[in-house]
Chains A and B, each alone.
Chain A
């Protein structure tokens, strides 16, 4: 019988708790707002002897990820956390970690990138790393941040995957708000994630291997990349399998996407992260007013659940894709680009509009979400589709 503990805690505190329960061999981290309390809490656990982890305090995030890469290649279970500028500073090593197929789990407290300087939430940091070869999960709440962290480790270390995972939670909104969270007991998490068996450990002296060697012209670089692509494709089934197993324990749903009132929806919002509930709330209100509104929340961004989204949007007459990140010069935000690309496979052509919202922590007021649905209803009623993206609520 699984014992559950219900706590009032911030997203960061429960992510640190998940880290402790996952019992990594090595954590190398550098503090940065709004991630700080994750590594602070975890350092406390190490100091208290509540987890036996080699905690490496480094001088920068570049060093943090470098140390994680080294430790993971050596054969250790490795976890870390960062945010914003910290993730940006890790840019080189992000690609090295995925290229070397190192199953590192990193929590990212989504925060805007400078300039101008801003410590609040948007997804610009994580979306900037979307082509770094990491599996990417996004949490809506502190509960999901906890759940995603545990699932991330199981997925990363699966022999069919062996890819690093970025598990994202929204800066301040999720990292620092206190919410009600159900935690699992240590034994349940321990038995779910299991013992880590490294596949190509440098410290396995009986089976010597080389990591990250030169693969120049005529070398296997091209095939390595192909293998990474295949692993990322395979990860989808693994995420589905492991999240189903996890859901069985927790009785909480976990989907690559999670739909709300989509069965007969005319208008739908596709969204990621903490504002997803705002969309559900407004959709619920609109339903009582006779508007068939729905929501598609994307919980897994890499691998991108394109087919699932196309299926969820079947029959919808107008779609808004809400991005909390820019992709300057592109035709829309990152989630919009992926969604519209996926929708090319849809049987019917559906108008899609790209909205940019909530950058730098800009508050996602419910009337802004309502505005989006009103725009969509206008389109359904024969109005024109905006020919460029919309900055939602911009002064």
Chain B
């Protein structure tokens, strides 16, 4: 598998950095090479932020921001008004947005011609399951479904392993449910 580059767009506090990290850790579980890094800037709750994940079967040489992502993940729909989230996206790239809107409509909003646009109500799923609007783990479920870059079972395994150290079974279960639901409910156009 060649290098896959993922760029995360979110507002500070939504857990994008954790998600970027979880995806990288899942990739390691699948015995791949990976990098995960936030774009460090002034961190104020709600401010637009970026994070990055690289995954490859080969060791990764480069250390720089991702300007031509294969996959863009948007954790906050309202960012579409302020950030050009698809800037530099590769031809045939994939955008996954936390949104209740149909993906066809989002494709128009983004002005995307080719590639894939996917929408999932990650906030709604998070509120249902985790009981807080932290859409990061649901988005990983959608990522697994839409791109296959990580495997759903590996994501679940990692969540149990990582969250198991810090949280009780109820929180682990809530996160697992959120990932599975998002895997099942994501719509692609």
Where the two chains meet, the residues of A that have a C-beta atom closer than 8 Å to any C-beta of B are: 6-8, 119-120, 140-141, 170, 172-174, 176-180, 274-275, 277-278, 280-281, 361, 363-366
Q: Does B67 contact A (CB under 8 A)?
A: yes
Q: How far is the CB of B155 from chain A (nearest CB, A)?
A: 14
Q: In the complex where A120-B40, A178-B21, A178-B24 touch, is A8 in contact with B63 (Cβ < 8 A)? A: no
User: Does A8 lie within 8 Å of B28, measured CB to CB?
Assistant: yes
Q: Does B61 contact A (CB under 8 A)?
A: yes
User: Does A281 lie within 8 Å of B35, measured CB to CB?
Assistant: no
Q: How far is the CB of A146 from chain B (nearest CB, A)?
A: 15
User: Does B36 lie within 8 Å of A364, measured CB to CB?
Assistant: no
Q: Does B37 contact A (CB under 8 A)?
A: yes
- How far is it, in angstroms, between the C-alpha of A140 and the C-alpha of B62 when the chains are bound? 10
User: Does B64 lie within 8 Å of A363, measured CB to CB?
Assistant: yes
Residues of B within 8 A of A180 (CB): 28, 33-34, 59
Residues of B within 8 A of A120 (CB): 40
User: Does A178 lie within 8 Å of B34, measured CB to CB?
Assistant: yes
Q: In the complex where A8-B24, A8-B25, A176-B40 touch, is A364 in contact with B61 (Cβ < 8 A)? A: no
Residues of A within 8 A of B36 (CB): 8, 177-178
Residues of A within 8 A of B15 (CB): none
Q: Does B48 contact A (CB under 8 A)?
A: no
* Chain A interface helix/strand/loop/mixed: mixed
Residues of B within 8 A of A364 (CB): 63-64
Q: Does B115 contact A (CB under 8 A)?
A: no
Range of interface residues on B (Cβ < 8 Å):
10 to 19
Q: Does B38 contact A (CB under 8 A)?
A: yes
User: Does B24 lie within 8 Å of A277, measured CB to CB?
Assistant: no
Q: How far is the CB of A37 from chain B (nearest CB, A)?
A: 13
User: Does B28 lie within 8 Å of A274, measured CB to CB?
Assistant: no
Contact mask for chain B residues 16-47; partner A; CB cutoff 8 A; 1 contact, 0 none: 00000100110010000111111010000000
User: Does B24 lie within 8 Å of A278, measured CB to CB?
Assistant: no
Q: How far is the CB of B43 from chain A (nearest CB, A)?
A: 12
Residues of A within 8 A of B25 (CB): 8, 178
Residues of A within 8 A of B62 (CB): 277-278, 281, 366
Q: Does B147 contact A (CB under 8 A)?
A: no
Q: Does B116 contact A (CB under 8 A)?
A: no
User: Does B64 lie within 8 Å of A6, measured CB to CB?
Assistant: no
- How far is it, in angstroms, between the C-alpha of A278 and the C-alpha of B35 when the chains are bound? 14
Q: In the complex where A6-B28, A8-B28, A178-B21 touch, is A365 in contact with B35 (Cβ < 8 A)? A: no
User: Does A177 lie within 8 Å of B35, measured CB to CB?
Assistant: yes
Q: How far is the CB of B84 from chain A (nearest CB, A)?
A: 17
- How far is it, in angstroms, between the C-alpha of A363 and the C-alpha of B63 when the chains are bound? 9
- How far is it, in angstroms, between the C-alpha of A251 and the C-alpha of B60 when the chains are bound? 18
Closest chain B residue, CB of each to CB of A181: B28
- How far is it, in angstroms, between the C-alpha of A285 and the C-alpha of B64 when the chains are bound? 17
- How far is it, in angstroms, between the C-alpha of A278 and the C-alpha of B65 when the chains are bound? 11
- How far is it, in angstroms, between the C-alpha of A241 and the C-alpha of B112 when the chains are bound? 57
- How far is it, in angstroms, between the C-alpha of A168 and the C-alpha of B117 when the chains are bound? 42
Residues of A within 8 A of B21 (CB): 8, 178
User: Does B65 lie within 8 Å of A363, measured CB to CB?
Assistant: yes
Q: How far is the CB of B59 from chain A (nearest CB, A)?
A: 8
Q: How far is the CB of A56 from chain B (nearest CB, A)?
A: 29
Residues of B within 8 A of A141 (CB): 63
Instruction: Jot down 16 A-B pairs with beta carbons below 8 A, ordered by A.
Output: A8-B21, A8-B25, A8-B34, A120-B40, A173-B37, A173-B63, A174-B63, A177-B37, A178-B21, A178-B35, A179-B60, A180-B34, A275-B63, A278-B64, A280-B61, A364-B63
Closest chain A residue, CB of each to CB of B28: A8
Residues of A within 8 A of B33 (CB): 180
**5 additional A-B residue pairs with CB within 8 Å, beyond A6-B28, A277-B63:** A172-B40, A176-B37, A180-B34, A180-B59, A364-B63
Q: How far is the CB of A174 from chain B (nearest CB, A)?
A: 7
- How far is it, in angstroms, between the C-alpha of A60 and the C-alpha of B34 when the chains are bound? 36
Q: How far is the CB of A327 from chain B (nearest CB, A)?
A: 23
